[in-house]
Structure 1
Amino acid sequence: MEATAKELTVGQPPNIPTEPPPLARKPVTEMSAEEMVAKSIVPVKKEFIYPVPNRLNSDNNGPPTDAVPASTTSSAPVSNEKKSKRQLKRERNQEKQSTRNLCPMVAKTGITDSCPYNEKCRFSHNIEAFKAQKPADLEGNCPFEGNEEGPCPYGLGCRFLGTHKTNSASGIPNGLKNSEINGLKKDVQRLLWKNKMKFPKADAQLKVLGLMGPTKSKKTPIPNNEEENGCGEMGTDPIVQIQVPEKAESNNNGDDPRPQKRGKSLNDQTCEVIGEINGSSFEVVDVDTNVDQIETDKSLKLHPREKKLIDFKNKLYLAPLTTVGNLPFRRICKALGADITCGEMAMCTNLLQGQAAEWALLRRHVSEDLFGVQICGAYPDTVSKAAELIEQQCRVDFIDINMGCPIDLVVNKGAGSALLSKPTRMKNVIQSVSSTVDIPITIKARTSYYEGRSRIDSVIADVWEWGASAVTIHGRSRQQRYTKQPDWEYVYECTRKAPETLQVLGNGDIYSFSDWKTHKSACPQLSSCMIARGALVKPWLFTEIKEQRDWDISSGERLNILKDYVRFGLQHWGSDTKGVETTRHFLLEWLSYTYRYVPYGVLEVMPVKLNWRPPAYFGRDDLETLMASESAADWIKISEMLLGKVPDGFTFSPKHKSNAFDKAENG
């Protein structure tokens, strides 16, 4: 029987006067391998276990401060304080006006007068003052020098300026780097900001499905003797009357669809060209001119089986991972054997508002030959419009709809795993999106919202008819989060219930080649398995699965992987000071997972499980010992080995608190 985190860290309950069982009191150094496994502790060989008490072999209730060897600690502070958005914005504005932030155009060209804004520019143009306070160059070569993309786009601001062999003033390329695609165009962003973007395909399908909701039409209302249809004021449209399906979302136990917010009425007979999209002009036409054709010739609509489908069979699929699953990390996993990659979860409402930070989650590297994006929304209108926009603006192979996110911030808005408790809305979301776009649609869901209720197996047979070509099932309910073992037997049951045309993928705590092999052999109908947190701890898991072996990777090989990540990060976020610190931040977020890896060479029993907690132990060399530290100060020290000293006043606190195993919020 596996023990919970509470049983491992908390002593004898005050209401039980009897002596606790010997196993609960025995320190890790005196436990056998079988006893450690029973307590969900990684069975490390006795000669490697660190003798100082730590959170797993202490009799007291609180973790001691000397759980890590003092020789590995850093003087860099670690802070749990979170700043408000207003404070962060104020600090950013102050930073822009300082001499530390040189105008990007001036930095690229090295000419003070090159900025078109001149005195109105919000950045500094003082080159000499910038050079006087600029930190020393970092060791190594500029990640952009020698590339086919041209000279370094950061010019004087690059932290590898001394290695530049070309003159920064000789033709610096502007815009996005050639190796990355799916950027948001400025003209499209302005239309989204002004709420003037039109979505003809999504609006037409929403009308057909009866999910449009009321409009702000100023036309004459329907006479009292005419019966309103299920779309409210849409009955005033003289062009077409739409029959509402029997199971429209408005009949879902009183859960009426949201009113739509529009900057311009859809009845405006206009035609606009908003710019070049994927090499061709995209014409925005009025919805009403196409509804008749859609209604009269439904045979033109592609059934999901007629679309180009993605073959997930036996392919290694890297899950969309919040925060850590960024583009540089996906490049690492791709190099180590991942076949399919997916961007981080993007909120539909933020995409439709033109938020640059949200659109950055859709960026794709050219090495990602099979790439999808994951979107999350609560209502058919927002999700279908976001999908149409992505199809227009981006090059993706599939769109995954998140129906499994357990985070309160998402669930409280009716999105993520909350959709499992509203099957009619779930159906409407899938139908509206699949009928709007021509690229394949997949969904990712949990077993249920509440344990034993609103389970995914009740709709698994219908998902294909709704329009999804594949479904990934995480073997835990939303209520479970990550505190219990995934129910793979239930995943197998759902797989057998699914139609043969629907591809089903399993997900949950795959951490070794043997885990992958076990699940595939237990249910041959399973198309593949999605790998999530296991890839965060050891991204070489893809190599292990492909080569069917357990890789006893050395600390030097792990450090080389981190070096590649830093290089990819500098190419993605930039080689100037801001880009260096952004790369450092995401590196530290990743290190908050990688420390949990225990090398095979120090294990008593193999393989280990993802939820087992490693005791404090010595590695086979100093670097391996440092990488095993659970202290954020030591993660900072590793980042300093790769990116130089941290700035004065630097602090770091993991976003997901992943070192608390039962409170991870991502995946």
Structure 2
Amino acid sequence: METETLMDELPAATATAVEHPETPLQPPSSNADDGGVSQEFRTPEELVAKSIAPVKREYLRPPPSRPSTNNNNNAIVGVENDDAAEAKGAPLLKDKKSKRQIKRERREEQKSPLHLCPKVAKSGKVSACPYGDKCRFSHDVEAFKAVKPADIEGSCPFLVYEGPCSYGLACRFAGTHRDDVSAPTENLPGKSSELNFFSKDTQKLLWKNKMKFPKAEATLKLLGLEGNPKDKTLADNGENGQVAPKEPATDTKTDSNVVANDSISPSISPEDNVNGNNLADDARPLKKAKSSVNEICSSQVSSGLSVQGGVPDGNFGVNKSEPTADTMTDSDKSLKLHPREKKLIDFRDKLYLAPLTTVGNLPFRRVCKVLGADVTCGEMAMCTNLLQGQAAEWALLRRHSSENLFGVQICGAYPDTVTKTVELIEQECSVDFIDINMGCPIDVVVNKGGGSALLTKPMRMKSVVEAASSTVGTPVTIKVRTAYFEGKNRIDSLIADMGSWGATAVTIHGRSRQQRYSKPADWDYVYQCVRKAPKSLQVLGNGDVFSYVDWNNHKTECPELSTCMIARGALVKPWIFTEIKEQRHWDITSGERLDILKDYARFGLQHWGSDSKGVETTRHFLLEWLGYTCRYVPVGLLDIIPQKINWRSPSYYGRDDLETLMASDSAADWVRISELVLGKVPSGYSFAPKHKSNAYDRAENG
């Protein structure tokens, strides 16, 4: 079969990026056991029974004659000069460098001509830098121009904003800058559409352990949850005494900005210092009537954060329509903390994009908003890191102005950690709800008592939710799995009480922590939990939603279900939101998919910057995303539709060269695609995929 050439669709400048005769395109090969029978002799029904995508016979291609070099999670793909060649083998990983060595190398690198001082880059004048010779960066403009990479084709992403590009000479689109604009401002022009910037004053207070949390401390005292757990006699080991097994911390929780820090902030009580080995569990809270917190006037709980030795910046809570704590009367304060007076969010029938580690960054959420998502949620942030004032972790709470219904997700193991965090978030950020992750399966999180480990300790779950929801007026939601251990589901026994804990909504992922992604989600159990939930508690389902047919089936089977959260389905095909709203299978073309990638690149440059560092950061996360999009099989190539999320793709040709390229699970081909929207990669570029997107039985997103 002859396919259309990529040269007919793309300009010559971009077509050369995929013109590598020495490296033929490698679509994904089937990992399924065909039982010795070729796919072309099987019926579509037989293929579906074996979870193989039933691609039409005319699009099938024979397996490559040479051994496949398909990407795996441990491979590092290098690209040298102008050729995007596949790595022949994974090189040996270098020894880890010490922090001191990394810091020294960073300082030396900053002095290189490539790292021009931002002040000088903006104005083009050396005199613009107030630090002069003491500046950490280079001031040699001519040397910078000599080594600066060539401009990328296209226009500066900041031209849509008033004022000049703040990256000035360092911008990779400097040739498109206009001269008829006013002087550059201090704030980056693209940032005007982003909210929830972390206050430097608050960060310093957290660093110095001078931040107080009066609302959190008062709530914890009221619930009997204050103090050191070592001093208490009762330990919470769950209702049946199960304890989450200690596993070696082989997984690492990372996100688009930071690697999770295992260190503990000095500003947090000893309860937070959990290493999964030698600290006693949280004590059970003192027994009280279920409505004790609701009926007690909370005017004694002061609003706002008090500070020792000074008053923080008065810009807390910016972009919020609610009155500030200082202007509220005592009666207002008591009403604000009353659960029945909280703002209610109706999730019913709304398209909810799940919080996704690494790939669910702000630019990706903007793409999903354009394609029809109604509710978005930021990447999971660790409570201990937020309370330490880590700027990279706070960046996960960033919000774009287009996200009209936005929440943040946090993860913590103990009531005091979570309660202080929600109080701080409500003061610092503009969010519509706060989601507490009680289902994350990652080892480094579970070993510290957070995420799925809380499923083995229902009394601690109650303490965390009750304390958090009683402290803030922002709605609190929770996300759980069916259980920790396979075959020992327990959410159905807790769902009736979750509403009385103070949760506004609960999302149930239809898998256990032990199961991970090895089997389809158990939606029958999700329906069972939904029917047992009180009417006041909204219940959302999660797992394997990959088409509007899946969405409709779940809503039909269980009308009481509020909505379905969409996770991996959005990673593979973000236009799933359009399909659900328009109730159709979108046979999207390769050109339309490329336009979506271009939108992502533009949003990424506006978020991370248009200089060389911002371009390569955008490229990195684009490549991480392409590790999922390659799993999509176009509708026009299938004998049976819609595609299921657990289907494995055989080797196939696309309807044009670009579609064939997009079907490849080789990281070298992902780099080629990135070159179509972000220009050539630097010499010696390498990319190591983080998530095991090709391992269908396991994924790191919780």
Scaled by the length of structure 1, the TM-score of the pair is 0.84
Once the 2 structures are TM-superposed, how far is the Cα of residue 355 of structure 1 from its aligned partner?
A: 0.8
Distance 1:552 1:91, change over 3 A: farther
The alignment status of 1:596 with 2:635, answered yes or no, reads no
How big is each residue's C-alpha offset from its partner over 1:197-233, in whole Å with a ceiling of 9 and x where there is no partner? 111111111111111214xxxxxxxxxxxxxxx9959
In the aligned structure 2, how far is the partner of 1:91 from the partner of 1:29?
56
Distance verdict in 2 for CA 1:408–1:269, change over 3 Å: closer
Deviation string 1:375-400 (CA, Å, 9 cap, x unpaired) is: 00111111111111110000000000
- The answer as to whether partners of 2:265 and 2:388 remain within 8 angstroms in 1 is no
8 A Cα contact 2:237 2:456, kept in partner: no
Of 97, 111, 114, the match for 2:125: 111
CA distance 1:343–1:135, change in 2 (3 Å): same
Q: Report how far residue 580 of structure 1 moved.
A: 0.3
Letter aligned with residue 158 of structure 1: C
Shift of 1:48: 0.4
> Would the aligned equivalents of 2:206 and 2:267 in 1 still touch at CA under 8 Å?
no
Give deviations 1:445-466, integer Å, cap 9, x for gaps. 1000001336211111111100
- 1:278 and 2:317 equivalent? yes
Equivalences for residues 1-12 of structure 1 within 5 A: 9=31
Q: Deviations over 1:139-195 (max 9, x none)?
A: 0000001423x2111011000000000368823342571100101111111111112
1:80–1:653 Cα contact (<8 Å) kept: no
* Map of 2:84 onto structure 1: 74
- Cα pair 1:110 1:168 within 8 Å, conserved: no
Residue among 322, 339, 352 paired with 2:387:
352
2:59 corresponds to 1:24: no
Matches within 5 A, 1:143-542: 143-148=157-162, 150-166=163-179, 170-174=183-187, 177-214=191-228, 261-262=266-267, 272-276=310-314, 277-279=316-318, 302-453=337-488, 455-542=490-577
Q: Tell me what 2:113 maps to.
A: 99
Instruction: Tell me the CA shift for residue 363 of structure 1.
Output: 0.5
Aligned to 2:622: 587
- Worse-superposed segment, 506-515 or 196-205: 196-205
Question: For 2:550, what is the secondary structure of its paired residue?
Answer: helix
Rg larger in 1 or in 2?
A: 1
Q: Find the partner of 1:656 among 667, 691, 700.
A: 691
Cα gap change, 1:589/1:250 in structure 2, threshold over 3 Å: closer, same or farther? closer
For the 8 Å contact 1:155–1:168, the answer to whether it is kept is no
268-277 or 367-376, larger mean C-alpha shift: 268-277
What displacement does 1:127 show? Answer: 0.8
Partner-residue secondary structure (3-state), 1:113: helix
For 1:532 and 1:567, the matched residues in 2 are separated by: 23
**Displacement, 1:27?**
2.4
Q: CA deviation at 1:91?
A: 4.6
Q: Secondary structure at the match of 2:422?
A: helix
Maintained 8 Å contact 2:117/2:139: yes
Deviation at 1:115, TM superposition (A): 1.5
Aligned partner of 2:313: which letter?
G
Contact 1:420 1:454 in 2 (8 A): no
CA distance in 1, matches of 2:238, 2:85: 61
What amino acid does structure 2 have at the position aligned with 1:580?
A: V
CA distance 1:562–1:409, shift in 2 (3 Å)? same
Task: Report if the CA contact (8 A) 2:359-2:625 is conserved.
Answer: yes
Deviation sequence 1:473-530 (CA, Å, 0-9, x none): 0000000101100000000000000000000000001000100000000000000000
Task: Tell me the SS of whatever aligns to 2:697.
Answer: helix
Query: Which amino acid in structure 2 is aligned with residue 616 of structure 1?
Result: S
Aligned to 2:613: 578
Shift of 1:262: 3.8
Instruction: Quote the offset at 1:31 in angstroms.
Output: 2.3
Q: Deviations over 1:16-40 (max 9, x none)?
A: xxxxxxx511122332212211111
Contact 1:79/1:653 (8 A) holds in 2: no
Partner SS for 2:495: coil
Deviations along 1:241-281, one digit per CA (max 9) or x if unpaired, are: xxx9xx996998799xxx9944899xx99574211213599
Render the CA deviation track for 1:49-104: whole Å, top value 9, x for unaligned.
Answer: 111259xxxxxxx963489xxxx993265857666464765553332221111111
Is the 2:483–2:513 contact (alpha carbons within 8 Å) kept by the matching residues of 1? yes
Aligned partner of 1:127 in structure 2 is 141
1:368 deviation in Å? 0.3
Tell me, in whole angstroms, the C-alpha distance in 2 between the residues paired with 1:431 and 1:645: 52
Query: For residues 194 and 175 of structure 1, do their structure 2 counterparts lie closer, same or farther at Cα, with a shift above 3 Å needed?
Result: farther
Aligned pairs, how many? 597
Change (3 A) 1:321 1:173: same
Contact 1:325–1:343, Cα closer than 8 Å, also in 2: yes
Distance 2:545 2:522 in 1: 12
Q: Secondary structure of the equivalent of 2:686? A: coil
Is the CA contact (8 Å cut-off) linking 1:73 and 1:634 kept in structure 2?
no
RMSD, aligned CA: 3.2
CA contact (8 A) 1:110 1:169 kept: no
Which amino acid is 1:445 matched to? Answer: V
Change (3 A) 1:264 1:340: closer
Q: 1:569 aligns with which of 598, 604, 618?
A: 604
Contact (CA 8 Å) 1:212, 1:260: kept in 2 or not? Answer: no
Asked if the contact 1:109/1:168 (under 8 Å) is kept, the reply is: no
Q: Is the 8 A contact 1:101 1:123 kept in 2?
A: yes
SS in 2 for 1:275: coil
- Alpha-carbon separation, structure 1, partners of 2:64 and 2:681: 30
SS of aligned partner of 2:409: strand
**Deviation, structure 1 residue 666:** 1.1
TM-score, normalised relative to structure 2: 0.80
Report how far residue 110 of structure 1 moved.
1.2
The answer (yes or no) to whether the contact 1:248–1:424 under 8 Å persists in 2 is: no
Report the residue type matching 1:401 in the other structure: I
Question: C-alpha separation between the residues in 2 aligned to 1:417 and 1:33?
Answer: 38
Contact 2:335 2:341 survives alignment (8 Å): no
The residue type paired with residue 182 of structure 1 is N
Distance between the aligned counterparts of 1:542 and 1:203, measured in 2? 42
Q: Which amino acid aligns with 1:75?
A: A
CA contact (8 A) 1:469 1:502 kept: yes
Moved more, 594-603 or 87-96: 87-96
Q: Distance in 2 between matches of 1:311 and 1:248?
A: 37
- What is the match of residue 64 of structure 1? 68
* Cα distance, 1:91–1:587 mapped onto 2, change above 3 Å: farther
Check whether the contact 2:267–2:387 (CA below 8 A) recurs between aligned residues: no
1:460 aligned counterpart, secondary structure: helix
1:342: how far off?
Answer: 0.3
Q: How do residues 628-643 of structure 1 correspond to structure 2 at under 5 angstroms? A: 628-643=663-678
Distance change >3 Å, CA 401–CA 165, structure 1 → 2: same
For 2:116, what is the secondary structure of its paired residue?
Answer: coil
Q: 1:262 to 1:145 in 2, by over 3 A?
A: closer
**Partner amino acid, structure 1, of 2:170:** G
Q: Closer, same or farther in 2 for the Cα pair 1:298/1:634, shift >3 Å?
A: closer
Q: Which amino acid aligns with 1:479?
A: Q
**Separation (CA, whole Å) in 1 of partners of 2:308 and 2:84:** 63
